[in-house]
Amino acid sequence: MHARFETPLATLEPGLWAALAPILAEPSFNGMLSARQVMALMKAGGLDEDGLCLALLPLAAACALAPVSHFNVGAIARGIGGNLYFGANMEFPGVPLSQTVHAEQSAINHAWLRGEQRLRGITVNYTPCGHCRQFMNELNSGVDIMIHLPGRAPATLAHYLPDAFGPRDLSIQSLLMDRVNHGYSLAKELLSPDTTPLRGGLSVETAQGGTSEVSCVTAAHSSTPEASCVTAAKTAPPMNGLSADDPLLQQALQAANQSHAPYSRAHSGVALQLADGRIFAGRYAENAAFNPSLPPLQSALILLNITGGDCRDIRRAVLVERDAVALSQWDATCATLRALGCGEIHRRTLEG
């Protein structure tokens, strides 16, 4: 069992504790409870779904990473099939607060990445802020999604966000959590036979720009943003350790093809690999109000964290995104990954 669950687990009613402890102790526990597990826990604790979700909130909040605010928020998203998905806020020292993840975003994104197609409700231990209310309004559940808070009667998002502005006002047909496949493939890299790999204990960050590729070299696992950049001819993927069939690259591509970016069309995905070889991929989730959009890196970090991984254990990362569109995730992705100590960051572009 992950150490973060030990204290909140001990506060549960004995029947619920006895049923939940073996689930949390499973090495495969990933922050999700299946509908069958939920039914068993409700029976063991003598609780309905609302009561169970409220009882589980301290365990979700225990997943928070809040070194800036020291304020842990937990959320539990409820899928249409009865599954429950943990979420928690995440903060990253050394980067702007705009890179922060809210607990409601975390739980919703977690459900989305697990294949959930629609949410019935979300339980949170504190009132959702305006940012999160707007983020929820992008969902295919719309303003009908139910919000559950301790000590308050359940209410719809429409209650918490009256006169809402969202994708429907812009005639957007594809909503967040709708199943999509954009059909992109990876753009082919140009081979430059006279280019040699950069070595000597340094990491390589690659970003395409026009007809050349920019390589930013930083000390491995450094949190400093300084980098020396040189422009060289585009290199084939094997030059910088990222072949076309690399699972890291393929998972980032799949994430980009499932991303939600109906406003900018800047679809993107990120994949992160830990020292133990595990890979976590995340998708861009754009919002009609723009600012509540969830970057693909944060999407991947949510899954990594909620599964029990360590964000400072990332060894390789790749961003896959469209080129020649209104925005790029590259600079923000690099800044946050550098702050987390990742020493190898790549960028590839999409075509199609």
Mean pLDDT split into 10-residue runs, the chain, 352 residues: 95 96 96 98 97 98 97 98 98 93 98 97 96 97 96 96 95 96 86 32 39 36 32 37 89 98 97 97 98 97 97 96 94 96 95 90
Cα 247 to the chain's mean position, in Å? 18
Q: Which two tokens stand for residue 82?
A: 């009865």
Whole-number pLDDT of residue 237:
39
Whole-number pLDDT of residue 242:
83
| Statement: the pTM of the whole predicted model exceeds 0.75 | yes
d(CA 111, CA 103): 12
Whole-number pLDDT of residue 241:
65
Contact of 108 with 135, CB cutoff 8 Å: yes
Whole-number pLDDT of residue 236:
38
Give the type of residue at 151.
G
Contact of 298 with 255, CB cutoff 8 Å: no
Residues contacting 100, CB < 8 A, separation 6+: 68, 89, 90, 91, 92
Q: Which residues of 101-113 are buried (b: 16+ CB within 10 A; e: fewer)?
A: bbbbbbbbbbbbb
d(CA 223, CA 334): 10
Whole-number pLDDT of residue 134:
97
d(CA 35, CA 60): 17
Q: Could you give the 3-state DSSP secondary structure of residue 224?
A: coil
Burial zone of 227 (CB within 10 Å; 0-12 exposed, 13-18 middle, 19+ buried): middle
Question: What residues are annotated to the active site?
Answer: 104
Whole-number pLDDT of residue 235:
35
Give the type of residue at 254.
Q
Which residues partner with 292 through β-bridges?
A: none
Whole-number pLDDT of residue 345:
96
Whole-number pLDDT of residue 310:
96
Whole-number pLDDT of residue 92:
95
Cα Rg of the chain, angstroms: 21
Helical spans, DSSP H, in the chain: 6-10, 14-25, 35-45, 49-61, 103-113, 130-136, 157-160, 247-257, 296-306, 330-339
Whole-number pLDDT of residue 231:
26
CA-based max dimension of the chain: 70
Whole-number pLDDT of residue 348:
96
Give the type of residue at 21.
A
Map 49-90 to HEC letters. HHHHHHHHHHHHHCCCECCCCCCCCEEEEEECCCCEEEEECE
